[in-house]
């Protein structure tokens, strides 16, 4: 999905509407994980992975299930360096996983000559924006400090527009990671990016919601008949946005 150029006038604040109607195309997407999507995007590229570590109890489990994003990026990129503010997790990664291409520090204040002395194709922010108090300040500061060395970005965030959240709402319930500050739509994450000086170019949806028994049966029949199986954007948990830092 690409953003309509008219929408950029609202994203940039050049136009205003109290009831802006954002029309999404009816493109359907394959049931691909965010790990697979990001891995495909960064293949043979030079990549900075921001927030690379994860919670310690989850790292080994994700490695066993081939879902630890830093491992996947490292194994598929031409060059990768990971940065995380959690010193305990970084120490664990270095000592226990065999992946030592990681640094501990705060990208808002610390110097990283490993970044500034090289050229990078992408900075990957894998589901960290929803954990940050001020995402515009965070992204803008990263761009101002390291934009001279980094060309593009890949950001993944939770998609509020999926049918499971709708069902929870009908049941008067919210199910959420207790550390999250925000939910996102394609428009709101794009607004944050534009406000931070980034240029979003493409939106991808990933991580298919679990299917009902009926849906699983229909999918099996379609697979057996050789049909290409795709789903609308509200069937997915994650929004992935790619673009340029300027």
pLDDT tens digits, 53-65:
988 888 988 988 9
Q: What is the pLDDT of residues 67-113, one digit of tens each?
A: 999 999 999 999 999 999 999 999 999 999 989 999 999 999 999 99
Closest by Cα among 112, 113, 90 to 102: 90
Confidence tier at 226 by pLDDT (50, 70, 90): confident
Query: For the chain, how big is the Rg over CA atoms in Å?
Result: 19
Q: Please identify, in words, the CATH class of the domain defined by 28-244.
A: alpha beta
Q: CA of 154: how far to CAs of 38, 39, 40, 48, 193, in Å? A: 8, 11, 12, 10, 11
Cβ 193 vs Cβ 244: under 8 Å:
no
Confidence tier at 214 by pLDDT (50, 70, 90): confident
């Amino acid at each position: 999905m690409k953003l309509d150029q008219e929408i950029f006038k609202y994203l940039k604040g050049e136009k205003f509407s109290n009831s802006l109607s954002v029309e999404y195309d009816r493109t359907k997407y394959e049931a691909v994980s965010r790990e697979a999507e990001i891995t495909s995007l960064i293949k043979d590229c030079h990549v900075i992975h921001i927030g690379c570590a994860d919670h310690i109890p989850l790292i080994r489990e994700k490695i066993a299930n081939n879902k630890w994003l830093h491992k996947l990026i490292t194994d598929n990129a031409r060059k990768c360096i990971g940065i995380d503010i959690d010193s305990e997790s970084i120490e664990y990664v270095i000592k226990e996983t065999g992946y030592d291409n990681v640094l501990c520090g705060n990208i808002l204040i610390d110097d990283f000559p490993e970044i500034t002395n090289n050229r990078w194709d992408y900075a990957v922010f894998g589901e960290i924006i929803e954990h940050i108090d001020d995402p515009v300040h965070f992204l803008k500061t990263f761009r101002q400090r390291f934009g001279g060395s980094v060309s593009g970005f890949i950001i993944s965030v939770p998609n509020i527009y999926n049918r499971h959240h709708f069902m929870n709402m009908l049941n008067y319930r919210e199910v959420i990671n207790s550390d999250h500050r925000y939910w996102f739509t394609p428009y709101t994450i794009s607004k944050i990016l534009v406000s931070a000086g980034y240029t979003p170019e493409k939106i991808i949806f990933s991580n298919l919601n679990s299917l009902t028994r009926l849906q699983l049966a229909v999918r099996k029949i379609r697979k057996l008949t050789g049909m290409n199986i795709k789903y609308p954007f509200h069937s997915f948990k994650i929004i992935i946005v790619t673009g340029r830092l300027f």
